[in-house]
């Protein structure tokens, strides 16, 4: 293998090792402007996309410990990696694919488990991590709020009775 390809392979292997996920997409037929727009959207989601040669990516994936890709690397492919949650990147890809029909979700890996395109779309439909945290905090906070109201109710009712008696007198 040429020195340039070895350097690229090491770079992609390092990128795959540092990212908790990657998503492989087919971009055949996309114009440069559209790919630039996709890069911007993915950057906002905490991810990035890189066009990669299939043979280089296959070697990099093997070096980073990803299971055999079973010949699923065909056509013009790009790889999306990121440091944040996968659902934000999947949501950006799903919305972009709806706008521009040329982008095709192929497959992905999350913590060394293969995800098919249907699983990636299901991840895209999940609410963001911040929304899920807010819902969880709301669920945890609701019983405490109800308990505080129940504890304060008899005291406030007693205060209202005393106030009413003092106003009558």
Domain boundaries, the chain: 3-126, 128-169
- pLDDT tens digit sequence for 24-49: 888 888 888 888 888 898 888 888 98
Torsion of CA 133, 138, 143, 149, to 10 degrees: 150
Q: Is the pLDDT of residue 71 over 70?
A: no
Q: What is the pLDDT of residue 77?
A: 87
pLDDT band at 70 (very low <50, low <70, confident <90, very high): low
User: What is the pLDDT of the chain when averaged over all its residues?
Assistant: 82
Find tokens 């990128």 and name the residue.
Answer: 15
Q: pTM value? A: 0.71
Give the C-alpha separation, 109 to 81, whole Å: 10
- DSSP string for residues in 77-126: EEEEEESS-HHHHHHHHHHHHHHSTT-EEEEEEETTEEEEHHHHHHHHTS
Q: What is the pLDDT of residue 147?
A: 75
Degrees to nearest 5, angle at CA 162 with 161 and 167 = 100
22 phi, psi to nearest 5 deg: -150, 150
Q: Is the pLDDT of residue 6 over 70?
A: yes
- pLDDT tens digit sequence for 77-134: 888 888 877 888 888 888 888 887 778 888 888 887 888 888 888 888 888 777 888 8
Q: What is the pLDDT of residue 155?
A: 76
Work out the percent of the chain whose per-residue pLDDT is above 90. 1
Q: Is the pLDDT of residue 169 over 70?
A: no
Give the C-alpha separation, 133 to 65, whole Å: 32
The CATH class for the domain spanning 3-126 reads alpha beta
Comparing C-alpha atoms, which of 26, 121, 37, 138 is closest to residue 76? Answer: 26
């Amino acid at each position: 293998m040429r020195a340039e390809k070895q350097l690229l392979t090491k770079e992609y292997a390092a990128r795959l090792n540092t990212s908790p996920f990657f998503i492989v997409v087919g971009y055949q037929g996309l114009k440069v402007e559209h790919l630039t727009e996709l890069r911007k959207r993915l950057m906002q989601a905490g991810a990035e996309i890189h066009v990669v040669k299939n043979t280089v990516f296959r070697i990099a994936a093997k070096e980073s410990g990803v299971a055999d890709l079973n010949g699923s690397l065909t056509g013009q492919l790009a790889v999306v990696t990121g440091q944040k949650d996968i659902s934000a990147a999947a949501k950006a890809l799903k919305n972009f694919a709806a706008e521009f029909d040329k982008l095709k979700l192929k497959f992905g890996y999350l913590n060394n488990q293969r995800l098919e395109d249907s699983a990636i779309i299901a991840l895209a439909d999940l609410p963001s991590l911040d929304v899920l945290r807010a819902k969880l905090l709301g669920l945890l906070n609701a019983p405490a709020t109800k308990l505080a109201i129940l504890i304060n109710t008899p005291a406030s009712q007693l205060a209202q009775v005393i106030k009413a008696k003092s106003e009558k007198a």
